[in-house]
Amino acid sequence: MRRVLAGLLLCAIVGAVGVSGAFVYFAFHLPKFDSLHDYQPLVSTRVIAADGTTVAEYYRERRTVVAFNDIPDVMVKAMISAEDKTFFEHGGVSFLGMLRAAVVDVVRGKKAQGASTITQQIVRTLLLTNEKRISRKMKEILLAYRIEKSLSKEDILWLYLNQIDFGQSRYGIEEASRFYFGVHARDLTLAQASVLAGLPQSPERLSPRRHPEAAKRRQAYVLGRMAKNGYITAAQAATEIARPLQLSTLPDEPTGAAYIEDVRRTVVAKYGAELVETGGLTIEIAMVPSLQRAAEHALQEGLRAVDKRQGWRGAHPLPDAKHPAKLELEHIYAGTVTRVTDNMAEVRLALASGEMPFSTLTWARPFNPASATAHPKTARDVLHVNDNVFARVIKLSPLTLALEQEPRVQGAFVAIDVKTRDVVALVGAYDSTVSAFNRATQAHRQPGSAFKAILYTAAIDSGKYTPVSRVDDSPELVRDADTGQTWKPQNFEKDEFDGPMSLRRALAESKNTVAVKLLQDLGLARVRLMATALGMTSDIPSNTTAALGTGEVVPLELTNAYATLAAQGVQAAPVLIRRVIARDGQVLEDHTVSPTDPSPAVRPAVAFVATDLLRSVIDDPAGTAHRLAELGRPAAGKTGTAAEHRDAWFVGFTPSLCAGSWVGFDDHQMLGTYETGGHAAGPIWLAFMKAATAGKPVEDFAVPPGVVQLKVNFKSGLLAADGDTNARLESFVAGTEPTQMAGPSETAPPDDFFR
C-alpha cells in the first residue's frame, strides 16, 4: 500500500509538474490581446448608392460593430442568463461549471452541456480555433485569465456581443437585430433580446427563421433564466413566452444585382478579396436605386414584348413558384390551369384562382417563325388542364390574369449622367440574380447602324459635310481594299433607293449606301480617330463594312461614347464606383472630383451639330425612331440593327441623361425579320426615359460657341430668302455654313429632299 501510495504521489507530482510546465510553455506562445486596440474583427464592406442607402454588402462574416452604449441593458442581461450566469463573479474560467458539465456528459454518455464562460468563448472565436485538443483548452484558460486582467467586464461583453455568430451569416448583435427583427440593436425589446440570446448555443439549429419552434423553446429557457436571476419578473417571462415570434419581413431581392457584382469584381481585382470581404470598406457607387429599378422594369417588360412576338413555347414543366403574402397588380406569379373553355382559362395561383380571358392569349401563336399568322382561335388552342404557366395580375377583383412566359431573349441597359458620367443604372440580363453574365459590361455585340453616330460625327468634323450636304442613296459595288472582294451595300428596304438627299435625311432614315460612301470618302483612319475621341476602345474592322457597325462593342462603351456627344465633346470614363473609403476613414480612391477645365476631345460645335443630326432620327416622321418622339422633350439618338437581325440597339440622350438598350440572343440567333433597333430596343429606352424624366423641367441642348444657325432652303441647302416656304433653321460648324441664297425655282412646295 505504501508503494502504491508513493507511486500515486509520484504520478501526481509528475502530472502537476507536467501541467505546470505546459501552462508555462503556452504562456510564452500565446497570441497577444492586451487591450481593445487588439480587436480587429472581420467587418463586411458596405456598398452605398447615390441616395445614401445601403444596397449590398461584401463579407466573409457579415458584421457591423456598434458601441457598448448602443447595446440595451436587456440584451446584456439576456445574454448573461443564457450563456454565463456567473459572468460578473468568475475571473475568466468557471471550474465548477466545467466539473458540472463533465459529470453531466459522463452520465448521459455524450457531449450534453457547455462549460465555457463568455470570456472563454471570446478567446475561442478571436484567438484560437475550435479544435478538440487538451492543448487548445489550456491555451483557452490562460488567455481567458489574461483577458480578464486586461479588460473590464463591460469591455468583454462588448467584444462578445459584436463578435459572436447569430446564424445565417450574421455576426454581432447589430446585424442579427436588423436581420431577424428589422431594428437596430439599441431598439431591441425583451422578446427580441431573449430570442437573440438563445442563438449562440446553436445558431443554425435554433434559427427563428428556419426552426421557429426550436427558437421559441430556447427563448422560453432564456426568459426563465432571466426571471430566476432577478432581471425580470415571472409575470414578464410568462407574458413573453405566451406571445408568438414576430420576425421582420425578409427584404426583396437586391436592386441592381449585375451592377453590384460588377463593382465587386472591380474592387476585388484592385484590393484583393481579403480586404474587400473582411476589411470594412465603404464603397460609394453611382447607382441611383429609383433609376435602377426603372431600368430593370423597362428591360424586363421590353424583353417580354419581344419574346411574345417570337411565339408561345408551351407550358412550363416546373415554374419557379413564389408564395407572396398578397397578390399585386402587374406582378407575375406561377400557377396551374384548372379549367379551360373556348373563351377563358381558370388558373390557380398560390393565394387564389383567377380567370384568364382569351383576349390575353391571342399573342400565343406557335413558336415557329413560319407560322407568324397562325394565331389561336380559342383558349383551348393554347392551354390545357394541369399546364403550369406564368400569369400577370391585370385586375384584382374579380381576379383577372394574362398569360406570360419567361423570355429566352436577353438584353442589357445602361444609363449615364451626362455631366458627371455617373452610371446611374446598369442592367446586364433579364434576371441578373439568375444570370451571372453581365451583358452591359461583358457582351461584345455588333452595333449595326448605331455606329453611324460616330461616322457622321467624323463627317461633320472633317469640314467636308454639313447637315444639308447632298449625298446619294444609290446602289454601288464596293471593292474591299484588303481582300479585293466586292459587295453591294443594301438598305433595310433591300432594293429601294431614293437617290440624292440631305445628310440629315440619310442619317434619319439610316441609309446604308450613304454610310459606306461616307467611310470611303473620309477614310477609315479618320473614323477610328473619332471613335477614340468619343471614348470607344473596341477594334473597328479594317474594311468598308465598318460603316455598318460590323465591329463588336460593349453596351456600356457605346453608351458612353454617345454621352460624350451629349456633353459637347468632353470625354470621360463611365463611373460606377464614386469613392472607396477604408475602415479608418482614409479615402482610397475618389472619382467624384471633375477637372476644373475639362478639355473637349471633340470640338463642342462638332458635337452639337452631330447631336442635332441625331435628333432627326426621333423628330423626323420618317426617322427610324420616330415613335420615341412620344417622350415629349428634346432628345437625340440612333437605332442599330445588326446583320440578319441578330442585335437590336437604341442609344439616345437628353441634355442630362444618356441611355442605351441592347436586345439579342446569347447564341446570336436571329431576332426576327421585323425586330429592328427601333422596334425591339427603342421601347425599352422610351419606358426608362419616361420614368427618369417624369416631373423634371424640359431642357434643350445648349448651343456652344462655334455654331452658326441659319435658315436654309430644304431643296438646295442654300440660304433661304424671306417668305421661303421651304425654309428651315439649320445648324453648322462656323465656316461651313452656306453663303449663297436659294433661287426662285427652289422656293416651291417642298419635295422629299427633307422630311
Distance (Å, whole) CA 583 – CA 687: 40
Grid coordinates of 748: 416651291
**Distance in angstroms (rounded) separating the CA atoms of residues 264 and 275:** 12
Is residue 346 annotated as a catalytic residue, yes or no?
no
Whether 23 and 138 have beta carbons less than 8 Å apart is answered as yes
**Contact (CB, 8 A) for 141 and 90:** no
Residues 6+ apart with CB under 8 A from 485: 479
DSSP 424: E
Helices vs. strands in the chain: H and E counts, helices first: 21, 23
Give one DSSP letter per residue of 195-238, joined into a string. HHHTSTT-TTTT-TTT-HHHHHHHHHHHHHHHHHTTSS-HHHHH
Rounded-to-integer distance, Cα 493 and Cα 511, Å: 10
DSSP run (H or E) holding 512: helix 512-522
- The dihedrals phi and psi of 115, each to the nearest 5 degrees, come to -130, 0
Catalytic pick among 94, 449, 510, 716: 449
Instruction: Please say if 746 is a catalytic residue.
Output: no
Annotated catalytic residue within 57, 81, 83, 509:
83
253 Cβ neighbours under 8 A, 6+ residues apart: 433
Output the nine-digit C-alpha cell for 30: 500565446
- Give dist(CA 88, CA 30) in Å, integer: 25
**Residues 6+ positions from 662 with CB-CB distance below 8 Å:** 411, 412, 413, 439, 443, 445, 555, 647, 648, 649, 681
Q: Are 578 and 592 in contact (CB under 8 A)?
A: yes
Residue 565's identity, in one-letter code, is L
Rounded Cα distance between 127 and 633, Å, is 63
- DSSP for 308-344, please give it: HHH-B---BSS------SS--TT-EEEEEEEEE-SSE
C-alpha cell at 213: 419552434
Written as nine digits, the cell of 374 is 397562325
Distance CA 730, CA 722 (A): 15
Q: Which residues are catalytic?
A: 83, 449
